Every structure is written in C-alpha cells, then in structure tokens.
A = this chain, B = another copy of it.
C-alpha cells in the first residue's frame, strides 16, 4: 500500500490538543521498528503497553497496526491501516485515530483499541441497555469514562431519563471523538447531557448519597488512567451514589483471558453491593479474545432481576426518541431483549469459577 501519510495537526486545523507531529514520525511505516514486539521477545511476550500506536506498526506488514499488550501475552490482533488521522499525547495517555481498511475508523488509547466503527455497537449498546432495561423508568444516570460519547448515544434512547451526567478524565478523548467519530459523539448532542472533565473518584465523592438510578462505568483496562476504577474505594463510592435498588454496569474484561482479575472484581462487588452481583458478556471482535464482560450489580433495596429486562427498548421508544433526541436516529444494531437475557449465560469454565460468588445464584 502507499506510504502512510500523517497529516500535520495544524494543516487539518482540527483544534485538537495533540502534540505536533514531528518529522521523525513522518517516516513510512515500513521503516519503523515495532518496539512493542521487539520488547516482547526479550520478555517472553510480556511487553509493556507500547507508548504509541506507531510503535505497534509492523514493518513486515507495512501499515498494519498490531495490538500487543502484557494483558494478553503471546497474541496480537492486527488491523490494516489506510491512513493515520490523529496522534496526540494527553496528560493521561497516547491518543491515536486511524482509518482502517475494513473496520472503519479506529480509536486507540495507549496502544489498545477502544472502538472501531464496525463493531462499537456491540459494546456501547450492551454496557448501556443491560443496566437501563433492567429497572423501571430510570431518571438520573451517571457515566464514568465513556468520553467518546457512545454510551451517551445509547442512554439517550431511554425517554424516561431526565438527567445524564458524564465524568471523563481526558478531554482529548472527547475532542477526538467529536472530530473523527460523529456517529459516536452524537451522544453529546442530547440536551439532557452534562459533561464534567475530571477524575471519576473525586466526582463521586461530591455526589449526594443516593443520587442516581444507574451508573455506567465505561473504562479502559485496569492499567493507566482507569486503574482506580477497578479498586474497592471506587466501587464503594459508586454504591453510595446509587439510590436503593440502583444499578451499576462496569466493563469487566474477558472470561477467556482475565479470570483472576474478574474473580477479584466479583469479590469486591459482593462486599459492596448487597442487592445482586451478576456477570454478563458480549461478542466484540476487536477486543482481545473476541468478547468483553460486564459486572452488573444492584444496591440493597427493591430487587433487580438483571437477567429478565422489565424495561425493554421498543421500536416505539426508538421512534419517540427519533422525534425528540438526535442521538437516537440510528436503530439498534446489536442489542435486543433475547441477547440481553442470553448475555448472562456463562461457559462452564466460567460457571466453575464464578457461580458460587454471584447472587442470586445462576442455577
């Protein structure tokens, strides 16, 4: 393929706060060393997260982005790059956007794929509607992370909701999404949305007890800026901010790759959420192992049966949303009520590890 063009930020006049692309970064991908993979040989596959997506470019496959991480040693998923659209370094992480050959535009944070236009629907719809379709008439919702706006886009389908707060730590993610992912960042157009740029833990500390019906934690992996979002103080702050019988849904890694981490999360949730503690998962082609899981918990109060949605999104709601909320113009691509219930069915190896820790019991 043609040598990669890295458009200089100013030339695009996109107003984003990324580092200026210097000459060194303008060499063709075929001349770039794959730092991540070289390190991985020395450390038997356990490499630190690469410092930039450019470091993940394989010079044997010019223009292919390879996702190498110590969180999934010994394997890497690669996407063919047509063109880099943005490369920036925020106060928290490296932010990269590229046009891929077959997955549309791709957002990469610290070398890890966060979303692609082709499959983002599965993650955004499931992490949002699994909790919101499990309670009646949610009115106040908080999103922690989710700076791309995709979760907001899905939350806005629910016409009962009156207030949507979001706390994203990295403004660059919001700006990049608005510039390069209009079908995702459209979620910010909903007039019910209040954007707060800051630390999620600090934000929750200032929230009056029992404020929210639902909290959705759309975080990256528990390394880097999202690490605190996987620790006990954060879960306790979430529980405090929820009303009795309120619900939380958090990104909870892969059953195939991260069972020890998942067991730790479930243990913390059992101590923190006295209503119920559930695990669900969805297919997600561009995430490692091709799937991603969610913790779904409720606080003590009116019981919540996550496995049987009582607040389904009907076509009628979608149409109503279409008339009132610009964020709802796109029909659902992945989620439906059958997929909702099916998401809680766990492979036997996961049942063997988690069944005794989940409540109510799966069987």
Q: Are B74 and A77 in contact, with the CB atoms below 8 A?
A: no
**Contact residues in B for A37 (Cβ distance below 8 Å):** 60-61, 64
CB proximity to B under 8 Å, residues A163-206: none
**A338–B361 CA distance with the chains assembled, in angstroms:** 13
The yes or no answer to A11 lying at the interface (CB within 8 A) is no
Residues of B within 8 A of A256 (CB): 119, 283, 285
> Does A359 sit within 8 A of B, measured CB to CB?
no
Contacts of A45 in B (CB 8 A): 80, 101-102
A81 to B, closest residue via Cβ: B74
Q: Are A347 and B363 in contact (CB under 8 A)?
A: no
Q: Is A12 an interface residue (CB 8 A)?
A: no
Stretch of A15-23, A233-241, A259-267, A329-337 that contacts chain B? A329-337
**Integer count of this chain's copies in the complex:** 2
- What sequence of 0s and 1s flags, for each residue 61-102 of chain A, a beta carbon within 8 Å of any chain B beta carbon? 111101000001111111110000000000000000000111
Interface residues of A in 254-281 (CB under 8 A from B): 255-256, 281
**Residue A228 lies at the interface, judged by CB distance under 8 Å to chain B:** no
Give, as a whole number of angstroms, the nearest-CB distance from A127 to chain B: 15
0/1 string, A271-314, CB within 8 A of B gives 1:
00000000001011101011100000000000000000000000
B60, B119, B343, B345: the one within 8 Å of A60 (CB): B60
Q: Closest Cβ of chain B: how far from A148's Cβ, in Å?
A: 20
Task: Let me know if A60 and B41 touch, CB within 8 A.
Answer: no
Flag if B78 contacts A76 (CB, 8 Å). Answer: yes
| Contact among B1, B41, B339 with A41 in the assembled complex (CB-CB below 8 Å) | B1
Pick from B60, B80, B285: contact of A290, CB under 8 Å: B285
User: How distant is A322 from chain B, measured CB to nearest CB, in Å?
Assistant: 16
**Residue pair B334, A345 in contact (C-beta under 8 Å):** no
- Contact A348/B363 with A77-B75, A78-B76 known, Cβ cut-off 8 Å: no
Cβ A75 vs Cβ B102 within 8 A: yes
Q: How far is the CA of A150 from the CA of B306 in the complex (A)?
A: 35
Bound-state Cα–Cα, A158 to B74, Å = 36
In the complex formed, the residue of B with least CB distance to A121 is: B349
Binary interface encoding of chain A residues 337-363 relative to chain B, with 1 for a CB under 8 A from any of its CBs, else 0? 011011101111101000000000011
Q: Which residues of B contact A289 (CB under 8 A)?
A: 283, 285, 290
Q: Which of B60, B72, B103, B335 contacts A74 (CB 8 A)?
A: B103
Q: How far is the CA of A103 from the CA of B72 in the complex (A)?
A: 11
| A128 contacts the other chain (CB 8 A) | no
Chain B residues within 8 Å of A343, by CB: 342
Pair A103/B80 contact, Cβ less than 8 Å:
no
Contact B80 A74 (CB under 8 A): yes
Q: Check: A58 CB closer than 8 A to any chain B CB.
A: yes
Most buried by B among A119, A281, A332, A345: A345
- Complex Cα gap A76–B347 (Å): 26
Query: Is there an interface contact between B66 and A78, defined as CB atoms closer than 8 Å?
Result: yes
A320 proximal to B (CB < 8 A): no
Q: Which residues of B contact A345 (CB under 8 A)?
A: 336, 338-339, 341-342
Contacts of A226 in B (CB 8 A): none
A251 contacts chain B at the CB level, 8 A cutoff = no
A40 within 8 A of B: yes
13 A-B interface contacts by CB (under 8 A): A37-B61, A45-B102, A58-B60, A58-B61, A61-B76, A73-B80, A74-B100, A74-B102, A75-B77, A75-B80, A285-B291, A291-B291, A336-B351
